[in-house]
A and B are shown apart, each in its own frame.
Chain A
Amino acid sequence: MSNATAGTAATHRAATPKGEHADEFHIHPHISSTALNAKVLGALYFFTFLTVLAYRVDLGNANLAVATLISVAKSFLVCAFFMHLRYEKAFMSVALLGGIVCMGLFFGYTLNDTDHRGEANPFSSTRYNQVTGKYAHGTPEWIEKNGFVEVTAKFDEAEQKALEATGETPAEAAKAAGLPAGDAAKAAATPPGESAAKANPEGAAGAAAANGKGTKAGSATAGDASSDAGKAAPDAGAAKGGGGATKGSAGAAKGSAGAAKGSGGARPTR
């Protein structure tokens, strides 16, 4: 086999430069000049600044589209010039285009499903089905069970104690978290399925339930804790339960407890 190959090569060499493969033996690359590469780099810098400027304008949902378009333009420059695709044989681009088509299928099919699962709540980002009034897929289980209060995180008990030692009041904590009590109450009241009749039966059951849950929430999620705090607040006897719930949870939960106090009826509903 090596003889045959060597023979073929020898033929090519003998035939060069007049043979049919005259142009294929040596590589004849496109050599990009420094000036061209520098111009491409300049354009890429320009688009980078443009994308930063574009995001500072509130275009609503169009912001993502604009950012994507600018990124596609930058990618085109990199592929065409830096990666020499512009000067290559077409079959090099086929691999890239094939990948892009597959990506399109991937995105299209997935979003066709996931982006049509009810409306998003602007405050909580949870989605609910407008027909049933229930939370849609993509909503964490604990929100489905306990309703939503805008809480992101929990503290360690040690951290919580350290916070308490500084003498911060719930209102201050809420302020530190950037959540005016009123806003927090509004947010708490916003989750879907408005009717109070549908409210969590456990909430109606009162302090005992809230207390038990609060303990659980301390180790689980702050959301549990603060939602129970919200339920407990209107009931004077439940004050302890609410306090217990707050203890194990975050500064933000403190804020929510304050919010519930302020609005009274701001009870998370399904």
Chain B
Amino acid sequence: MATDTQTAGEHGPAYLAHHFDTPAQQFDTAKLAMWVFLAQEMLFFSGLFVAYVVFRFWYPTAFSVGSHLLDWKMGMLNTLILLTSSFTAAQAVSYAQRGMPKRVGWMLILTILLAAGFMVVKYFEWNHKFHVGFLPGAHFKPDAEGMVAIGDAVKLAFHGGGIGYHLRTFFGLYFVMTGLHGLHVLIGMGILAWIWVRNHRGEFSSEYWTPIEITALYWHLVDLVWIFLFPFLYLID
């Protein structure tokens, strides 16, 4: 890292690490590293998506009925919330590039609030499922209310006709996938808050906004994963 004692004339601006020649090189290196990390994240989630596709083709009835036990309206609300938060994150970067730290701060706060809204909706969804016993795998044990809900879902499902023993598998995937995604949202909220503090301290300018952009890239990935999770979990015919 560049030290405070270094004057601008010796090597470059204070934010320029000594192992980089130019800010542009440093910026591109940071972004490339982030993209490599995002590719790794993608592969991390792809394992779950492979499991999802295998089980969905094996147990179409259970997945059809299972998706009707989720509230697609809540899923859609969360999709719109997360898409909007991606927009505010993109706007934060845009304002940073233009050297408008106050607006950056507001965009970061909006992003954090939307993320919190997403988690609140998720809390209500998860809470209901815990309540009626729609738990993953071996713990799947619906109560009377859950059984009635299953009966209603069977009527709605295109593939209906049998309940399908494998609802437990569907809810296993549901909880692991939305759970890990939710964890990413929580971590993202923490990073966004940290970036807000740094922005508030005046660390960023139209010359240097790399951490904001890197954080936004992470946040967009969280959005990308949900873009697939929503139709795959909530919208099965």
Contacts and interface: CB of A to CB of B under 8 A. Distances in A.
B61 A122 contact: yes
A78 B79 CA distance: 13
B127 interface: no
A123 B151 contact: no
B39 to A, nearest CB: 4
Contacts of A131: none
B231 A95 contact: no
B148 A44 contact: no
A140 B235 contact: no
B123 interface: no
A58 B237 contact: yes
Interface stretch (B158-166, B174-182, B192-200): B158-166
B142 A152 contact: yes
Contacts of B89: 82
Nearest to A250: B147
Given A55-B235, A163-B144, A32 B60 contact: no
B158 to A, nearest CB: 5
A104 B79 CA distance: 25
A129 interface: no
Interface in A95-132: 95-96, 98-100, 102-103, 106-107, 110-111, 114-115, 117, 120, 122-125, 127
B152 interface: yes
B22 A24 contact: yes
A24 B24 CA distance: 6
Interface string B30-54: 0110011011101100110110011
A152 B167 contact: yes
A138 B58 contact: yes
A60 B236 CA distance: 10
B144 A31 contact: no
A98 to B, nearest CB: 6
B53 A111 contact: yes
Interface string A18-45: 0001001111110111100110110011
Interface residues of A, number: 93
Contact of B162 (A60, A63, A78, A124): A124
B141 interface: yes
A187 B23 contact: no
Interface of B: 9-12, 16, 18-19, 21-25, 27-28, 31-32, 35-36, 38-40, 42-43, 46-47, 49-50, 53-54, 56-62, 72, 76, 79-80, 83-84, 86-87, 89-91, 93-94, 97-98, 133, 140-144, 146-148, 150-155, 158-159, 161-168, 207, 213, 216-217, 220, 223-224, 227-228, 230-232, 235-237
Given A31-B94, A34-B91, 14 more contacts: A55-B236, A60-B237, A64-B56, A71-B227, A99-B38, A103-B43, A114-B54, A115-B54, A153-B147, A159-B144, A177-B148, A178-B155, A179-B163, A252-B163
